[in-house]
Structure formats: structure tokens, C-alpha cells
Amino acid sequence: MARKTGSRSETTGPRVREAALRLFARHGYAAVSMRQIAAEVGVQAGALYLYTPDKQSLLYELMHAHMEELLSAWAGVPKGTDPRARLDAFARFHIRFHLDRPEAVFIAYMELRNLEPGNFAAIEALRHRYEDELEAILRAGQEDGSFAVPDTRLATMALIAMLTGVTNWYREGGRLGRAEVEQIYRDMALKAVGANTA
């Protein structure tokens, strides 16, 4: 198939999203202009509109893709039936997944308020589904005596906040390695809900 010079339709779309991800994470959605994104990609501002109807859709698509990926990645994790084993799997998965994509995580947590109402509701629903995965584990452990949590919803929010917080300080090549960090957070999570850390 013949193709014009300068034509890169198969790569420019993804590159627009990558540039937007990087810039939104660094400076915030509202502070980034379409011109900055275009400059990062190496095209003129007008060309971006071949790949997104508008700036808001760009943000929504990034957040939506991130949340869908989070849910499907967790769905693919092998987990036992014992609540302790399932919490162990969740904590390790959460830390790994979040350390692997700090920019998308940052956007997913910081730019919710810049979503238009319909888009906000859609992202919130996905986030809620993820939180429910952890809450189900805590409830199962509460029922069979593996855990001691006075309120499973509160414990869910507390654990997710603690685990997600790793992205606030962890830096590649720092004092602690990923495996160490994962292990320590996992231990704290299990202890926090009253499980033995054996």
C-alpha cells in the first residue's frame, strides 16, 4: 500500500497518548496545553485532532484505559482461596502494578476532578469495582476468622491508600529494591488487618 511521506498514522495516535500521559502527570491536565502535547509528539497542534475529538477525551481515554488494565490484570492473577493468600496476592499485585506505571497512577488519582460529570461517573464505577475486589477478600477473612477488622470498607480504603502511597516516594535505583518494598508493604498490610504474617 502506497503511503505519503510524513504519514505515520499507525504510530502517531499512541505517541499522542504517551505524550499526554507524561505531560498530564508532570504538570497536571489543566496546566498542559494542546500545543505542548503537539510539540512533544513533534506535530502541530491541529494535527492532534485527528486522534482525539478534544482534550477532555484524551484525559478520559487515558484514565479509562488505565482502570480497565488494572481490573483485567488483577483478574488474571492466580489467587488461592484462603483469605490470607488472597490478601498477599492483592498487596503484591497492587504494589507491582502501581510501581510499573507511576504516571498513569498519578493521573488516575489526581485528575478525577477534571473529568466531566459523565466521564467521572464512568471512572468512579471502575475504581469502585477494584475496591470491591479487596473488600471481598477482607470480608471473607473476617467471616472465617483470618482477619480482625471492625469495618471492611474502612479497612479497604486504608489498605489501598497505604499501598498506593508507594508511588509517592519510591524511586528506581534508590535505597530499597522493588522486591524488598513489595515484601514490607505486604507484611504491613497483613498485620494491619490482624493476620499472622507467617
Binding site for DNA (CB under 7 A): 4, 6-9, 12, 32-36, 38, 42-47, 49-50, 53-56
* Distance of closest approach, residue 39 Cβ to DNA, in angstroms: 10
Residues 94, 97: Cα–Cα separation, whole Å: 5
- Residue 76 touches which member of its own copies, DNA, none, C-beta under 5-8 Å by kind: none
Answer whether 23's CB lies under 8 Å from 40's CB.
yes
Does residue 150 interact with its own copies by CB under 8 A? Answer: yes
Stretch 71-110: interaction string toward its own copies, x if CB under 8 A:
---------------------------------------x
Q: Provide the grid cell at 18.
A: 504517551
Q: What share of the chain is helix, strand, coil (3-state, %, to 5)?
A: 75, 0, 25
Gyration radius of the chain's alpha carbons: 20
- Report the residue from 18, 56, 164, 178 that binds its own copies according to the rule CB under 8 A: 164
- Secondary structure (DSSP) of 119-174: HHHHHHHHHHHHHHHHHHHHHHHHHTTS---S-HHHHHHHHHHHHHTHHHH--TTS
Give whichever of 13 and 194 is closer to its own copies, judged by the CB atom. 194
Which residue in this structure is represented by grid cell 488472597?
A: 86
* Distance of closest approach, residue 116 Cβ to DNA, in angstroms: 11
| Residues 13-72 close enough to bind its own copies by CB under 8 A | 26-31
Q: Which residues in this chain contact its own copies in the complex, by CB under 8 A?
A: 26-31, 110, 113-114, 150-151, 153-155, 157-162, 164-166, 168-169, 175-176, 180-181, 184-185, 187-189, 191-194
